Structure 1
């Protein structure tokens, strides 16, 4: 049965004895009512012509209001019929009362951030919230709709991020990815039509810029291993960095959460924070003297080996994240002074431990094995990552041409 919409007076009086003027939506013999907010005495309603009688002091204004509401409702119903096969009277009413097209970018972004928070993805919540605020601050419009976020708007936004905010190419891309994610959500929810989608071929294309991954050489690692004259804090930070390097560039958040109980049968067993994968790695001989330096601080079998997480509230994900960020910042500060003492001119950070492992591994280890060591879910990720450190083929080809 086709849907119908008409203006009527609902025969349910309020406490003052007045009756509401409504838009009645009927489909499949089921009706739903959209209230206009206007009430009149029963004697002023023209039942035959479905309008307010001229005897009402505000009849012209009320009838004009009803005509406008009816036209808006019919247009909305026409749009819904064109775009969707099946809509209930309740859904039609909802769309007429609060059109999805008027749902703002900020509203969809708020729902998205709430989901991240509820899922305890606090790091993602913090970074994406900052990126969403970049867009809202640029637009200076809390009611910004998705239709307004077109190709021209995004190109101005990109120029703003590069020029005013001084963001790198990679950071600009990360901002666009969040916007794209929210735009796809809006399309799926029916808030905006796909024809307005500003991303893709001949539009805004998201492409990660090539970045240079620099790792330490074998000689530079040996220099760090044997470096003397370190302060107590520098010595500790070197231990943490080498622990990470010896385990194929284990992420700092995982390193500082390793417990004594995670080590048994001469292996390290741990669950990655990034993707919750459970892993088991042989404990390298070089790690054993490092961790023994912390044995005197062990009080229980499930104590953390390194001290950074010992005062964390382990029931509070936000506190764990905060402690990890603080520790990483501290480590990187001390690594600067370690690099100076080692006379290494590369930027030494916790993350470069991962690059260093890749640099030394080069093309000596099968890519499938590197995938396991890096803990990548997809081998393509490993191939793309390791490509930064595999130079033998190109080096040999160059030598064959110029060495004559």
Structure 2
């Protein structure tokens, strides 16, 4: 059990111009000491160390009252920290006495700023700048919520309860007009800050341990076999439109995201153990390196543009312009779906792989997912459709 000792000391060797000495206070807690000046000065000849008081003199009543006040305030600070149930140090007692934040009384936004400063140093190493900016944006949302809900600039991190996230979710949905998926991301980022607070001993346990996110499963939109063939068979007279179509089809057969396609170098096309050409990919989103075997259609497209650039497989085109051209392509070809580059990746996973009975674990590997759960969450329904298709085929055989 924590025990505190208070002792007032006189620095008799040092006196001011009025020949008075400073009164110091020493706090002792678990064999650790903290000394500070009380701001009081007395005649050292009038000090009774045993009774811890000034003997009757000109200003003894006032000084003794002030020393008593210091002692009472220190005991109150000590009792407050004891009741909090958290471990604390002698420095925490002094900080509480001074009205300052102790190590166990960190504020929510203060801790978030600490976390931001920590991950800022990882930009370009383990973190992308765009991800860091999203954390900054989420910090602003959290600050707005605390002001909206608590009418304060910040709150103690120890005051966090499970209801906090429920209220925060409500705020993001009603005041910020966020969709559930965007809202979940903001809360996930805050949860990482809370985990940091736990690791730094600002919190003893996770206040949101039982909190559950409202899951959002977006329907996977992809090109069917017929739509993909329709696109492949159409030739555009305008070269830049034809190229965008080809690059989109290339990604339908490789599953590359836009950035991976745009940065693909000729040196990334390698001969592997099976004597076939593969793509050596470093997925920027997950920092995962993986390889993709090149299907004939993808190889054909690479060959068509082999003389375009000395280093890159395909000469760069901006993502915005790329998706703009895809809209024109869809209109001309007669595809009613909103064509975006990301749909090529979905088409690769669905139409090219899963509909051809490629196992889910292989699909996950070829997409560069960090976990097969990610793949299952997005493409589980497509597998169900394939199963249904095969069952119906068997039924027709047996009839």
Describe the shift of the 1:346–1:66 C-alpha distance in structure 2 as closer, same or farther (beyond 3 A).
Answer: same
Q: 1:262 aligns with which of 243, 268, 281?
A: 268
- Over aligned residues, Cα RMSD in angstroms? 3.6
Describe the shift of the 1:331–1:365 C-alpha distance in structure 2 as closer, same or farther (beyond 3 A).
Answer: same
Q: Say yes or no: does 1:25 pair with 2:17.
A: no
SS of alignment partner, residue 100 of structure 1: coil
- Native 8 Å contact 2:290 2:365 kept in 1: no
**Alignment-derived partner of residue 183 in structure 1:** 194
- The 5 Å alignment of 1:306-317 reads 306-308=314-316
Q: Say yes or no: does 1:118 pair with 2:112.
A: no
Describe the shift of the 1:3–1:387 C-alpha distance in structure 2 as closer, same or farther (beyond 3 A).
Answer: same
Q: Distance in 2 between matches of 1:298 and 1:116?
A: 37
Q: 1:222 aligns with which of 226, 229, 239?
A: 229
- Native 8 Å contact 1:6 1:24 kept in 2: yes
Q: Distance in 1 between matches of 2:286 and 2:197?
A: 27
**Alignment-derived partner of residue 376 in structure 2:** 383
Q: Distance in 1 between matches of 2:330 and 2:379?
A: 24
Give the structure with higher Rg (CA): 2
- Native 8 Å contact 2:260 2:284 kept in 1: yes
Q: Distance in 2 between matches of 1:231 and 1:58?
A: 94
Q: Say yes or no: does 1:50 pair with 2:52.
A: yes
- Native 8 Å contact 1:52 1:62 kept in 2: no
Looking at both structures, which has the greater relative contact order when contacts are Cα pairs under 8 Å and sequence separation is at least 6?
Answer: 1
- The 5 Å alignment of 1:1-400 reads 3-9=3-9, 11=11, 19=22, 21-28=24-31, 30-33=32-35, 35=36, 38-41=39-42, 43=44, 46-51=48-53, 55=59, 59=63, 62-63=66-67, 65-75=69-79, 78=82, 83-84=86-87, 98-120=101-123, 121=127, 122-140=129-147, 141-194=152-205, 197-200=207-210, 204-229=211-236, 231-247=238-254, 249-265=255-271, 266-299=277-310, 303-308=311-316, 327-360=318-351, 361-362=353-354, 364-390=357-383, 391-394=385-388
- Native 8 Å contact 1:21 1:40 kept in 2: no
- Native 8 Å contact 1:5 1:74 kept in 2: no
Structure 2-normalised TM-score? 0.78
SS of alignment partner, residue 344 of structure 1: coil
Structure 1-normalised TM-score? 0.77
- Native 8 Å contact 2:260 2:283 kept in 1: yes
Describe the shift of the 1:392–1:269 C-alpha distance in structure 2 as closer, same or farther (beyond 3 A).
Answer: closer
* Structure 1 segments unaligned to the other structure (5+ residues): 310-326
SS of alignment partner, residue 112 of structure 2: helix
Alpha-carbon shift at residue 240 of structure 1 (Å):
3.3
Alpha-carbon shift at residue 25 of structure 1 (Å):
2.1
- Native 8 Å contact 1:212 1:388 kept in 2: no
Alpha-carbon shift at residue 197 of structure 1 (Å):
1.4
- Native 8 Å contact 1:177 1:206 kept in 2: no
Describe the shift of the 1:234–1:277 C-alpha distance in structure 2 as closer, same or farther (beyond 3 A).
Answer: same
Alpha-carbon shift at residue 109 of structure 1 (Å):
0.9
Alpha-carbon shift at residue 134 of structure 1 (Å):
1.0
Render the CA deviation track for 1:197-235: whole Å, top value 9, x for unaligned.
1451xxx42232222111111111122223334655433
Alpha-carbon shift at residue 127 of structure 1 (Å):
1.6
Alpha-carbon shift at residue 172 of structure 1 (Å):
1.6
Q: How many residues align?
A: 372
- Native 8 Å contact 1:5 1:73 kept in 2: no
Q: Distance in 1 between matches of 2:238 and 2:69?
A: 79
Q: Distance in 1 between matches of 2:83 and 2:390?
A: 64
Q: Distance in 1 between matches of 2:16 and 2:299?
A: 82
Q: Distance in 1 between matches of 2:361 and 2:70?
A: 69
Describe the shift of the 1:395–1:267 C-alpha distance in structure 2 as closer, same or farther (beyond 3 A).
Answer: closer
SS of alignment partner, residue 157 of structure 2: coil
* Structure 2 segments unaligned to the other structure (5+ residues): 272-276
Describe the shift of the 1:65–1:186 C-alpha distance in structure 2 as closer, same or farther (beyond 3 A).
Answer: farther
